Amino acid sequence: MLRLTEHFREQWKKRGNGPVPGAKEVEEMIEGSISLQKDRDVYTPRGRRFKVLALYWCTEKDVVFKVDEKRNTVVTVISKAVTSDEGRGTRDE
């Protein structure tokens, strides 16, 4: 079963994407999305590991999901709507 982090839920609300969807609905959105980047581990020359999350673009909602596929967890959502209290406008401004 897909898990949704609290951060994902907060970002979904903050970005004005409508009511926060449930795990099953998000899973269906991801299944219909375009894969932009696979989940993987990368290492520095000194052997320090960094986690790179998978990215999925849901064209229907115009959002990008960041997913930790090993933990089956949606970590966050990115959309063009950014609140003004962050000091940035939307992509269209």
Ordered by start, the domain boundaries in the chain are 3-81
- Distance from C-alpha of 78 to C-alpha of 93, rounded to nearest angstrom: 17
- Distance from C-alpha of 27 to C-alpha of 20, rounded to nearest angstrom: 13
State pLDDT tens for residues 24-80. Answer: 999 999 999 999 999 999 999 999 999 999 999 999 999 999 999 999 999 999 998
Global pTM?
0.81
In degrees rounded to 5, what are phi and psi of residue 42?
A: -120, 155
93 confidence band (pLDDT: 50, 70, 90): very low
Nearest to 75 by CA among 23, 13, 6, 19: 6
Query: Cα dist. 15→51, 53, 79 in Å?
Result: 25, 20, 7
- Distance from C-alpha of 93 to C-alpha of 90, rounded to nearest angstrom: 6
- Distance from C-alpha of 45 to C-alpha of 55, rounded to nearest angstrom: 25
State pLDDT tens for residues 7-38. Answer: 999 999 998 778 999 999 999 999 999 999 99
